[in-house]
Structure formats: C-alpha cells, structure tokens
Amino acid sequence: MALIKQSSIRAVLDACDMVEIVSPFTELKKTGASFMGRCPFHNEKTPSFSVDAAQKLYYCFGCGEGGNAFTFIQKMEGVEFAEAVGALADKYGVSLEFKQGGAGQEEKFRRRERVLSLLDQAASYYARYLHDSPRAETGRGYLKQRGFAGEVIRQYRLGFSPPGGQALLRAAAGKGFSLEELLAAGLATRKSGRAYDRFRGRLMFPFTDHRGRVLGFGARVLDDSKPKYLNSPDSDLYHKGNLVFGLGNARRDIVRQDRAYVVEGYTDVMALSQAGTKNVVASMGTALTGRQLREIARFTRNLFLAFDADAAGQKAMLRAQELAKGMDVSLWVVRIPSGQDPADLAMGPQGGEAFTRLAAEAATLLEYHVQETLSRSDLDSASGRKKALAALEKVLSGAVDAVELDEQLRIIAGRLRLDAENVAYLVKTVSHASAGGKGETRQRVLTHQESNERSFLSLCLAYPGEARRYLQDMTDAYFTTEQTRAAFRWVRETNEGQSGGTGPASLTAAASAAGSLLPELKIRAQAGRDLSSGALHELYFRLSEASINRRISDLKEKLSRDDNNSESFKDLCRLEARRREIIELIQSGSYEV
C-alpha cells in the first residue's frame, strides 16, 4: 500500500500558511506573537482560539481542541490524514512522494481498491435505477408511502436493483470489471455454472464504513417473496456483525454531540435523520455485537439504545450490558412506547420532538433493567419479592459502575422491603456472581485506566517480541498506581532478560513492589495468547493517550497561573497535536508506530 513519505509531509507543513488555512472558518486578530479568534469547534462569545503561525499550531482554551494544520483540516472537513495532506499539498503546490510496499502488498491493495470502486459504482447504478426506471416504481412508491423525501434518500444512497437476472453484470462488464471482481464484491452469484445478479428487484440500502465507503448492501423485497431481507455475503470487506448502518453519515454529528443513538433498522435511521436527529446508526437487527459497540465507541463513549419495546429488543439490551463489560462506554436506554419504533415517532404528528423528549429522559441501562424487572414482579407477596431478587442477580452482575450499583441496591432494598442484613446478602450475591462463582467478597473496583494498564502488561507477557518496541520507550508516567508502575518495571526487565525469567525465583525489587499483581498478569498472559496481538497495540496507544491527557491537564493548570509562559503553551499545542494523532490511530485501527 502506497504511503506518503515523511519528507513530503514535512514539506507540506512547511509550505502551509496557518492563518490562511484557519481564516475561512473564523476571524483572526493578531495578539502579541499569536492570532486569536472565536473557536470554530464550539459556540463562544469571547475569543479563546489561539493560532501560532510560526509553529503551525492551534489550540482552544475553551473546549481543548488543538493540533496542527493537518488535524485542523481533518476536523473541519471530516477527512482522513492522507486526504488532509493531499488537500494542502494541492493548495500550496507541493508534489507528494510515496514509499511503496512489496509487490504482493501492492497487488492486494490494487484488488481491494478495484472492489471498493465496483461497490461504489454499483451503489450509484442502483440509485439511478431507483430514480429513473419505470420498473422501480414499486420502490419509489414504498418510500413515498413511508414519508421519505428525496434528500434523505440521496444522503443514504438508496437504490433499486433491476428485476432481471444479469442487468448489473452487463453494466459492470461495460465498465471493465470482471466476473471474479463481481463475485468478490458480493454482487454476483453462480448457479448451475451460470452467473447472475445477486440482488434482483429489491430496494437497496448501501452499508458503508465510517468513511462512507460502500462495503456491501442490504436488500429488501417489496412483495411477499422470501427472504424479506438479503445481505451481501461475508467477504474480506464486508462482515455484517462488524458494521453499523449509517455511521458514514452520522460520524461528524456523533463526534460533535458526543453521543450516538443506536436503533434497529435502516428506516429508523433515515426517519430520525430526516426529523433532525443526525447522530443515529442502526445495529441492522437487534443482535448487537461487541464489534459494533467498539466501532461506535471509536467516536463516542455515550451510546443511547433505542430498540423496539418487544421481547427481542429487551433481550438485545440485556445482551448489550454484558457486551459492554470491559469497554469504556456508558449505555443508556431511550424508552420507545410499546407498539411503536423510532421511525413511527419521527414520522408522527410531533416529528422529531417526540423522540427528543424521550431521549432527554433516558435511563442508564442498569437503571432501566432494574426498573423493568421490578415493574414486572409481584412485590406484594413474599414469593414475588423472592423471584424478583433472583431475577435481579443477573442484572446486577453486569454492573460496571460501583456508585451506580450502590444506588440501585438502595432502590431495590426499598422496593423489596429488605432489612440491612438482606441488603448485605444481596451485595455479597452480586459480588459472587461477578467473580465467576469463586465465593470472593467484592473487591475494589478498578478504574478503567488501571484495567487497561493491567491488560496491557499481561499482553506484553503474552507477546514479548511485539511488546519490546513499546516497553523500551515507556516510562512510569504511563501508569497511574504504584503497583502497576512496579509491575511495568518488572515486565520490562523480564522482556529484556534482566530478571532471569518469569518463574518463582525471578524476584527483583520491582517484582516485590508489584506483589500480588504479578501472578494475575501471568495467568492473564496465558489467556491472552488466544487473543489477537492487535489488542496489545491498541492498549499501548490508549495508555499513551491517557498519559498525554494527564500532561495536558498539568500544563493547563500551569498556564492558568502564568498565561505568559510561551514555552508551556507550545508544549501544550504539541501535546494536543500528538493526542489527536493517537486518537486517529485508534479510530482507524492502524497501529503503526
């Protein structure tokens, strides 16, 4: 895969005029050595957005946004790093040079780009057919009957597949695409040695990644044919359980509002978007997966589930609570009235306001499950309260926030008329279930950061070769407790062969300070070998981001005491730029150092 050379990236940055780049988005006035203006990333009346023209840096003291010329273009225009470099190179007349991978890698990249181009052109073909063909009248009628306007249909690139057997095959062949490419894209299928269009006479919903690239399709039949929905087959590009519908459209609004609404179906997404709620995606059915949660969590940690109020929706929300364990996400529930779905609300007489009101009253997922369980139980009888307690054990075992758990325990105690002794029993029962039935008492709840630190260290033991490049450059500042700092030093010594191995005799000063954490790390390392080493890379960058965040907080405090410290300001801008780069790496899933 061709990558831009670092020398070209530096040349583009040197050529940039930072004030010229920022000025179209906000009015800047020179103040001392810097330029000040109102922040283009958030609403404000007093200018707090500063631009360092010499260093090509920007930083907002109000909202914390900061970075360099590339990150500014990425943020304002919603493009990837390479696209931002390319755009500025064109603007300032810099010729880019690329470094090439091996021949096999280049060929694989070329094939992938061909298939992506084919899928994109197929989406355009289906969209034109929906708009122009008399044979797509059923599709146009269905969308009109559902209340969808042309704008939202274009935004989500809806289309219609011709009812004949080989219309797309012929169109693609005319564009120079081969049958093998059509099969790889999931657009064609073979039967009795003959190739046919996979999708025929169906309303087409393109599935895209977060960048808006078409990876596959969901196709809905509009008569009584079976199956009602037909998806693209799994391939190198498309895996239904990894994607959420509408993310390419919703990404910028999700980031801006720092929350995402997760619904079940395509039309729920489109109806809410048409009604003004743009930060919405669909799980493509109630079977929400852990990979889908992680995909959304790349852009926000606040997920609001708006599933139908039926048995399948309830089961999906309970499953989401289990999947969220170990993830740094907050799950909320938007209560959809029985017999309705989000599309019904958005298309109803009150439009988007009905959904907005329900969203404002959203409960945490744990609170929702507790309330639902209590409301379905007979709390007037002793046997009913006993059954409710048994049902609540599973719900409470999924709690990830100790403060919220304690609050829900108090509510449950009051509703079930439990005395202090029974409340203590309930706490013990929940702790026992959370510990996997080992009969342990409730342990100290780890912070998400400390949990990440422990997971990273255990994976360093599981993948010592890949961990070496990280460990040799890390310091104690990456870790937040004395125990994990000591464990880090021991892991690094072990990795470098300084502690004489990982057996019982390998006791260094660091090992003694780490104490009981070392056995845990060794045990988790064994389990970690069954995981992809990609988790190691992601955790390293998450620790890096957290470490930089702590340094940024310290510098902000320093600047609040001495706002004339230009060196601290430059350090702050550099750290903000590095933090943005790390976040981009995490979001892209590319962890090259």
Outline where DSSP puts E strands in 167-316.
188-191, 194-197, 203-208, 214-220, 229-231, 260-263, 280-282, 302-305
Sequence-distant (6+) residues with CB within 8 A of 157 are 123, 124, 127, 206, 214
Report the pLDDT value the prediction gives residue 253, as an integer from 0 to 100: 87
Name the pLDDT band for 501 (thresholds 50, 70, 90): very low
Pull the structure tokens for residue 334: 């938007």
Name the average pLDDT for the chain. 82
The residue among 512, 468, 471 whose CA lies nearest residue 488 is: 471
CA angle 1, 242, 177 (to 5 degrees): 50
CA distance 371 to 411: 9
Tokens of 382: 């002793």
Q: Name every residue whose Cβ is closer than 8 Å to that of residue 493 and which is 6 or more positions away in sequence.
A: 499, 508, 510
Contact 199, 217 (CB under 8 A): yes
pLDDT for res 591: 60
Residue 507 has pLDDT above 50, yes or no: no
pLDDT, mean of residues 206-216 = 88
pLDDT tens, position by position, 382-426: 788 778 877 877 777 767 667 777 788 878 888 877 764 565 555
Examine the pLDDT at 111 and tell me if it is beyond 60: yes
Burial letters 498-521, b for 16+ CB under 10 A, else e: ebeebeeeeebebbebbeebbeeb
User: In the chain, what percentage of residues exceed pLDDT 90?
Assistant: 32
C-alpha to C-alpha distance for 205 and 248, rounded to whole angstroms: 13
pLDDT score recorded for residue 174: 96
